[in-house]
Amino acid sequence: MGELMKIQYLVPEKKQGLVVVITGNGKGKTTSALGMTVRAAGHGMKTCIIQFMKGDIYAGEWDGVKLLGDRVELISTGMGFCGLLGNPYSRQEHRQCAQDALKLVDEKMLSGQIDLLVLDEINNALKLKLIDLDQVISILDSRPSPLHLVLTGRDAHPDVIERADTVSEVNEIKHAYRKGIEPQPGVDY
């Protein structure tokens, strides 16, 4: 069968936490962040995912990340997507949940217990004014330098993009939903 390939592990000379923004109108922003979570777990890193706007419809990642054991914690703080799909909660209720999520972000970020913090749908929460730009900037400014921070969601604010180390935009070219195909478990949620 031939010689076994040697696997090389790269170790940076200096550990540097990164700010990563995953934005755009296409499908795959949360999925990309979850992929980073799996990668981090493979390196023995601990991750906390705080979901700002999900919470009223089951998402497979809630149980999927449990398979990664104590390396990943997922906290869904939202009440669903504000103003979409007949969501019954008021803007004020959504804003209060998002404000509570920000307190949790500070607690997790400053705990020293995690290596990767994913703020899922925070860009949407900012766009919908459930949180304020100065609150997000404060998170970016107070992030401990070794902590990796990932911000997902459509419509990332230009000031957040400017402060990020890496920004990826997910663009929709085609989506099954536009053909009348309902969201599918395991792929869409």
pLDDT digits 0-9 by tens, 73-113: 999 987 677 665 666 778 888 899 999 999 999 999 999 99
How sure is the predictor about 143, in pLDDT bands with cuts at 50, 70 and 90? Answer: very high
Domain boundaries, the chain: 19-171
pLDDT given at position 82: 64
What fold is seen in the domain 19-171? Rossmann fold (3.40.50)
Give pTM, 2 decimals: 0.89
pLDDT given at position 141: 97
* Nearest CA-CA partner of 170 in 17, 21, 19, 18: 21
